[in-house]
Amino acid sequence: MEYSKLISVTGMGGLFELVGSKTDGAIVRSLDDKSTKFVSSRIHNFSHLESIEVYTVRENVNLVEVFQAMSNSKEALPSDKDAAAVKAYFQKVYPDMDFARVYSSDMKKMVKWFSILDANKVELKISEAEEEAEENA
C-alpha cells in the first residue's frame, strides 16, 4: 500500500485507500475494516495525506515528516482521548510544531492516523514526483 494513495474523507473516521475515482466521487477502501465503498464528492471532501501540511515555528512541513519523527521516536503513543498527553507527546517528538496554530483535535487525529498507518505497515514517504518538484523549487 502506497502512502500517495491514502486519503482522509470528511465526515468519515479513519483513513482510506483511493481505489478509483468517478466524476461524482471516489471508490475507497477503509484501512480499518478493509471494506470498499463509493463515497460521493457532493457530500464529502477528500484530502490526500501527501497534500496535508503542519504548521511549525519555521516553514510548514508535510505531514509525512511528522509521521517519520513519530516513527523514529522511542516515546510511547499516547491515547488519542487525552489532549494534554497528546500535546506533551508532540512537544517531545516534534518540538518545532507551532502549538498555537495546531489544534489539539489535529494532534489527536495525527496520533490516530499514525497508529492506523503503523498497523497497516505503510511506508512513510512521499512520492518521487513531489520530491522532485520540491527540489526544483
* Domain edges within the chain: 3-49, 52-136
* pLDDT 10s digits, 16-71: 999 999 899 999 999 999 999 999 999 999 999 999 999 999 999 999 999 999 99
Q: What is the mean pLDDT of residues 116-130?
A: 81
CB 44 within 8 A of CB 84: no
Please check the confidence at residue 135 and state whether its pLDDT lies above 70.
no
pLDDT at 128: 65
pLDDT at 124: 86
How many other CB atoms sit within 10 Å of the CB of residue 62? 17
How many whole angstroms separate alpha carbon 126 and alpha carbon 131? 7
Nearest to 65 by CA among 54, 74, 75: 54
Q: Would you call 95 exposed, middle or buried from its count of C-beta atoms within 10 A (0-12, 13-18, 19+)?
A: exposed
pTM over 0.95: no
Q: Which three cell numbers stand for residue 98?
A: 507551532
The share of the chain scoring above pLDDT 70, in percent, equals: 93
- Could you say which DSSP state residue 56 is in? B
Residue range 52-136, CATH number: 1.10.10.1650
Report the greatest alpha carbon distance in the chain.
44
> Which amino acid belongs to residue 20?
G
Q: What is the mean pLDDT of residues 77-100?
A: 93
User: What residues contact 106, with CB distance under 8 A and at least 6 apart?
Assistant: 54
Please check the confidence at residue 134 and state whether its pLDDT lies above 70.
no
